[in-house]
Structure 1
Amino acid sequence: MTEIIPALTSRPPRYPHATSEPTLDTWQDAPHNRWAFANVSEFVATAAIPAHPRHRNGVPWLDRLVGVDDLDQRLEDAYTDALVVVRKGELIAEYYREGFSPVDRHLLMSVSKSLCGITVGALIDDGLIDPAATVAEHVPELAGSAYGDATVAQVMDMTVAVDYSEDYRDPDSHVRAQDRIAGWRPLHEGDPEDTYAFLSSLRASGPHGQRFQYCSADTDVLAWIVEEVTGRRYAEVLSERLWQRLDCADDASVTVDAAGFPFANGGISCTARDLARVGELMLAGGELGGRRIVSEHWVRQTLAGGDPELARDSAIRQTHPGASYRNQWWSTGNARGNVYAVGIHGQYIWLDPPTGVVVVKMSSCPEPVTVAWNDVHSALFRDICRSFDR
């Protein structure tokens, strides 16, 4: 039984430089987000994602990353809360801002999507989910929605044509409505009562499979499929299929709405070290510590990326001209084959296949996402990974 931890009603001292206490309306905005992303349960109800106890020794310093110029300043300028660099099972270097530590959990935002992708991949391997089947075949309640006749593979790759706005700054956008329904912001009159009702209300905007459309609701549909085929809560499945098999040291958590539905598209919090194990799993072909978590075929498919032509209109192409999306992971399409998971305000798992390096970055950037921030992070990860080429 998944334990639901209600949001606390009391508020801690405001983060330095803030002129007021964080509220349900403001906790995601700078400067409150610097404190709030590490304390999500103060605002939103959460469900635990239990781990098995594990220990890793040593706290390397950043000076082990030889050849990366001005790294301390670059991390500070990029509002870094945590940085972890791992190579082939070895913890190479890490950084934590003042007030944040290796055992503190941090909100992952849309990096959560990539964890969902692995979980769905594992269920596909076991024959519980058919990627070629329509969503309605797995979740009949979605038959009349935008997702009813979309295949699971199209949802995984975000090629579902759905009437959905992902504008984080527009209070009338669908993504902001999802925030409210998930308990991340105060509800508006007329909002659906829970995520089940919200997803069922979405309508198609055209034929599926013809172009990439980044849509956070897609991931929540996947979570609904996970719950439907297993008969269990998403947090329980994620714990059993991913977190415990990764032998993570600390529990993770995911925020839940009034019906207990998980905010799978952005609500997971965990430590930076444990998140790095997700990256290690991907570079190791789906097996880590002698445990097969997801098939090598699924990992190879994901690392190969999707059809770049489908993402031709995506803003990320300004930073990565060959970018594509596959199985809830981004591919840069560059010569190094870099693949990554990313969340707004600067959350990352960055994979560098040539060196076997995984970089995890947790941040509280003031803006949700801009081309400039994409460029800053891409350059930072490039320089870190290239330092291992020597």
Structure 2
Amino acid sequence: MRCWRRRRSPRPRHRSPWRWLRSRSSTSSRRAMTSRPASSITPASSSSSPRATPTASWSCTTGASPPSGTPQSMAPSTRHLLMSVTKTVVGVIACALVEDGVLALDDRVEAIIPALAGSGFAGATVRDVLDMRTGVRFNETYHDPDADVYLMEHACGWRSPREDVPGSLREFLAQLPRDEEHGGRFRYRSSETNVLSWICEVASGQDLATLIHEWVWAQIGAEFPAHITVDPTGVAVGDGGLSATLRDVGRLADMLARNGIARSGAQVAPPWFVVDTLVAAEDSRDAFAATNSPTGMPGGHYRNQVWVPFPDRSVFLALGIHGQMVYVNQQSGVVGVKLSTWPTAQNGALFYDTLGAFESISAALDRYTHQHPVTHHQEAPGEAYPRTAQYLRESRTFFRTNEDPIYFFGPTAFNLLGLDRWVCSFTYVSYYDPWDGMSPAGHVPRSGRAPRPSPARRR
């Protein structure tokens, strides 16, 4: 594994449009996916497939477009199947459509897609689907060959057809039942993202490949075209079908670390996307804790198709089975990408090793930033100047590590709710208590309302 730290690099040139893929993907984790001829789809060349090694490629960087360290089996132009990292891309697009007014988070699924009116998704909202909190029954147990996640692969054409499984992705989704109330606990289910992709396509009038190209890939300045697999009817597989190069996935992570702003200056994800993902809803952690999915993230939550592993950190992840990980640490400004082909879908030891490695690298680079600060001026002999933060991440680091008490005084803290999650040692002092005594950061003076001045003293 190699790591880099550079100040700036030129914006990469976008070379070619988005292309679809029906042929075998560049990782061997889904071995039964079948090739289907279609004149409108450009297949990847066979030379782009890497050998099935446990770790195909690593990249970790801060403050620049990411370089990469790849073994001989992967060239800079080699695409690798991202598996469920694709979900985060779909989540960004869905939230961007919400920002543009094309979608609303409280829209009902069946109002957008009438074909799902008789399915378990009826009554669920876009927000329920985004956060995987619908009540739809779907089994994602990877060691069970008859689990719903594998039946969906048969429907997609990733596995050979079965007589008892519908022949297309959307037919499969429409027959899923409901076994719980919508808006309840979190359960990780790939079917949710395929419905979310369907919602985005219907609401925008564009197919998923075009949405990804126009709303994300072209905006981040992707260096190489990406591929996405489609089912027998040509519908893109939004839960895990995206294949892309290491550096371009790094550009995606860098955009998220910069609050949705690409290095071109384009606002790709909405301005509220990262904050909403990290802060989430009031009950997001409880819903996450109640899950029956093996998350390995106690105290974390899931929001907008993104994993937040720690309850008090500005770290979030995009994850895919067989070892894919995109790591974003907003406090240190470090992003990391690892593409792998593990022999099993999940491996707890390797997952924690990967996350621990990125955390150690991030901590080391964060210490380097503090030891070598960037200021607007040079200190003259015998003079003392306060340190001036030049970059947004330096301001964020200052407030996240602040030890000096900071107080907000006002009638109500409504417009600043959640700020105590970002600023350490922060206290609200207000007349009205929006937390009903449940927040340790809120303080309401016992003396009550201040006396009003007499009419004679009013100005």
Same fold (TM over 0.5): yes
| AA partner of residue 259 (structure 2) | G
Deviation at 1:374, TM superposition (A): 2.3
| AA partner of residue 124 (structure 1) | V
- Separation (CA, whole Å) in 1 of partners of 2:37 and 2:360: 38
5 Å matches for 1:102-121?
A: 102-121=76-95
Q: Is the 8 A contact 2:140 2:149 kept in 1?
A: yes
Look up the SS of the partner of 1:95 in the other structure.
coil
Deviation at 1:282, TM superposition (A): 1.1
Aligned to 2:424: none
Q: Is the 8 A contact 1:83 1:362 kept in 2?
A: yes
Look up the SS of the partner of 1:292 in the other structure.
coil
Q: Percent identity over the alignment? A: 30
Look up the SS of the partner of 2:180 in the other structure.
coil
1:312 to 1:227, Cα distance in 2 relative to 1, 3 A: same
1:121 to 1:186, Cα distance in 2 relative to 1, 3 A: same
TM-score by length of 1: 0.80
1:45 to 1:315, Cα distance in 2 relative to 1, 3 A: farther
1:209 to 162, 168, 183: 183
1:45 to 1:240, Cα distance in 2 relative to 1, 3 A: farther
Q: CA RMSD in A?
A: 2.8
Deviates most, 293-302 or 150-159: 293-302
Deviation at 1:3, TM superposition (A): 6.0
Q: Is 1:81 equivalent to 2:82 in the alignment? A: no
Aligned to 1:7: 23
Q: Is the 8 A contact 2:300 2:308 kept in 1?
A: yes
Q: Is the 8 A contact 2:19 2:226 kept in 1?
A: no
Q: Is 1:312 equivalent to 2:313 in the alignment? A: no
Q: Which blocks of at least 5 consecutive residues in structure 2 are unaligned?
A: 1-16, 43-52, 368-459
TM-score by length of 2: 0.69
Q: Deviations over 1:125-168 (max 9, x none)?
A: 11111111111111111111111110000100001111111012
Deviation at 1:305, TM superposition (A): 4.2
Q: Is 1:278 equivalent to 2:242 in the alignment? A: no
Aligned to 2:451: none
| AA partner of residue 166 (structure 1) | E
Q: Is the 8 A contact 1:45 1:183 kept in 2?
A: no
Look up the SS of the partner of 2:187 in the other structure.
coil
Higher relative contact order (CA 8 A, sep 6+): 1
- Separation (CA, whole Å) in 2 of partners of 1:96 and 1:173: 35
Q: Is the 8 A contact 1:48 1:252 kept in 2?
A: no
- Separation (CA, whole Å) in 1 of partners of 2:168 and 2:60: 38
- Separation (CA, whole Å) in 2 of partners of 1:195 and 1:215: 14
Q: Which blocks of at least 5 consecutive residues in structure 1 are unaligned?
A: 13-21, 50-77
Deviation at 1:6, TM superposition (A): 4.5
5 Å matches for 1:138-149?
A: 138-149=112-123
1:157 to 1:148, Cα distance in 2 relative to 1, 3 A: same
Query: Structure 1 segments of 4 or more deviating over 3 A?
Result: 1-6, 42-49, 313-319
Deviation at 1:276, TM superposition (A): 0.9
1:164 to 126, 133, 138: 138
Deviation at 1:371, TM superposition (A): 2.3
Higher gyration radius (CA): 2
Aligned to 2:303: 326
2:215 to 231, 234, 241: 241
Q: Is the 8 A contact 2:188 2:293 kept in 1?
A: no
